[in-house]
């Protein structure tokens, strides 16, 4: 059975350190989690592509759902990600792309993914992204990157995922799908580091004009008071799209800055710590959020975010100085 990475076995797979259980947010979001595992399979450092995290903003009802820009993947690594048109059965398209050694990223229903045991597996439906390493349509088997690693699904889950037993006349399965073309030659580490530094400068120029953590803190208590009137399950959705997205985003930024420092870019220690401060504050406040909903007491939520808001200001000012200084030395 052909595969993109034929040596990888879900039963003996080791997740990347960015997914270690000791982190504040071992899982980030479905799309970025895929790349955190796919890039190392190619021999590439996922930490290099995380500079975009400085652009995250508060969007009013959520924080920006952070995704590595496709143009960053191409400029850093030479990976070309393009939408795959679906006009046949989805599994046939995936098999054809694997035959051509192209990786497919597919939006699927988490209900059929065994690695979501305890959350949505056979209990709830949700949209998520997987990257398919291996597929065997005859044997009803698929190996896929998702969440914290590489997994396998078979049998009824395979059939359900691809709607193989759908009633005659049912709506066709037409998920959003991308495929990845790999370059003939991957860049070396020196090229990747230089590219990552350049991208960080570009993204710093695109960062929010106002402090997004402080903007969120103003709205936070009122939003929580409103969701306290909703079914408790809604609390988890709100927390995922606010505190979790903010915290995970800046924990990844701390890893990006740490990686740059380890690869010859000095003076980023304070930036690493301030990004971590945002992450750890969000983790603490998420616990406080649950208590506030239970107790119907919301006035302390906004002030609880102040350490993260202050860290954001110091972080951005420090990065501005550091990047200006490194540019002057390079010139």
pLDDT of residue 238: 92
122 domain-assigned: yes
- Mark which of 181, 212, 231 sits at the end of a domain: 181
Per-residue pLDDT tens for 24-74?
999 999 999 999 999 999 999 999 999 999 999 999 999 999 999 999 999
Question: What range defines the domain where residue 211 resides?
Answer: 190-330
Mark residue 5 as left, alpha or beta (left: phi above 0; alpha: psi -120 to 50; beta: remaining): beta
Handedness of CA 64, 53, 85, 6 (dihedral sign): negative
Q: Indicate the pLDDT class of residue 292, thresholds 50, 70 and 90.
A: confident
Same domain for 114 and 161, yes or no, is yes
2 domain-assigned: no
Considering the chain, what is the average pLDDT of its residues?
94
Same domain for 286 and 214, yes or no, is yes
Q: How many domains does the chain have?
A: 2
Same domain for 23 and 119, yes or no, is yes
119 domain-assigned: yes
Same domain for 85 and 175, yes or no, is yes
Per-residue pLDDT tens for 168-205?
878 888 999 999 999 999 999 999 999 999 999 999 99
Same domain for 117 and 210, yes or no, is no
Q: Indicate the pLDDT class of residue 100, thresholds 50, 70 and 90.
A: very high
Q: And the tokens for 165?
A: 């037993």
**In a 10 Å sphere around its CB, with 0-12 CB exposed, 13-18 middle and 19+ buried, how is residue 64 labelled?**
middle
Same domain for 196 and 97, yes or no, is no
* CATH value at residue 243: 1.20.120
Same domain for 140 and 208, yes or no, is no
pLDDT of residue 160: 96
Tell me the average pLDDT across 263-283.
Answer: 96
205-210: long-range contacts (C-beta < 8 A, 24 or more apart)? Answer: 206/54, 206/55, 207/54, 207/55, 207/316, 208/55, 208/56, 208/57, 208/58
Same domain for 98 and 148, yes or no, is yes
Same domain for 14 and 156, yes or no, is yes
């Amino acid at each position: 059975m052909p595969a993109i990475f034929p040596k990888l076995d879900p039963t003996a797979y080791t997740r990347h350190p960015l997914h270690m259980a000791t982190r504040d947010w071992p899982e980030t979001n479905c799309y970025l989690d895929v790349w955190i595992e796919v890039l190392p399979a190619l021999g590439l450092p996922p930490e290099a592509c995380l500079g975009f995290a400085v652009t995250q903003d508060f969007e009013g009802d959520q924080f920006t759902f952070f995704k590595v820009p496709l143009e960053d993947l191409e400029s850093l690594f030479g990976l070309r990600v393009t939408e795959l048109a679906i006009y046949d059965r989805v599994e046939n398209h995936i098999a054809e792309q694997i035959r051509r050694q192209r990786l497919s990223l597919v939006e699927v229903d988490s209900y059929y993914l065994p690695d979501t045991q305890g959350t949505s597996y056979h209990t709830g439906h949700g949209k998520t992204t997987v990257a398919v390493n291996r597929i065997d349509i005859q044997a009803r088997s698929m190996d896929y990157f998702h969440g914290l690693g590489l997994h396998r699904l078979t049998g009824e889950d395979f059939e359900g995922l691809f709607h193989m037993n759908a009633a005659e006349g049912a709506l066709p399965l037409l998920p959003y799908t991308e495929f990845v073309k790999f370059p003939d030659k991957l860049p070396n580490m020196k090229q990747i580091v230089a590219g990552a530094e350049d991208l960080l400068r570009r993204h710093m120029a695109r960062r929010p004009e106002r402090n997004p953590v402080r903007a969120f803190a103003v709205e936070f208590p009122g939003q929580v008071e409103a969701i306290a009137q909703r079914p408790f399950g809604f609390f988890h959705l709100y927390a995922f799209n606010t505190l979790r997205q903010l915290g995970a985003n800046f924990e990844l930024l701390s890893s990006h800055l740490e990686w740059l420092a380890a690869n010859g870019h000095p003076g980023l220690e304070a930036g690493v710590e301030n990004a971590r401060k945002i992450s750890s504050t969000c983790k603490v406040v998420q616990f406080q959020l649950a208590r506030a909903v239970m107790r119907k007491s919301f006035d302390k939520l906004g002030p609880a975010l102040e350490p993260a808001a202050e860290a954001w200001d110091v972080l951005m000012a420090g990065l501005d100085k550091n990047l200006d200084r490194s540019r002057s030395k390079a010139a």
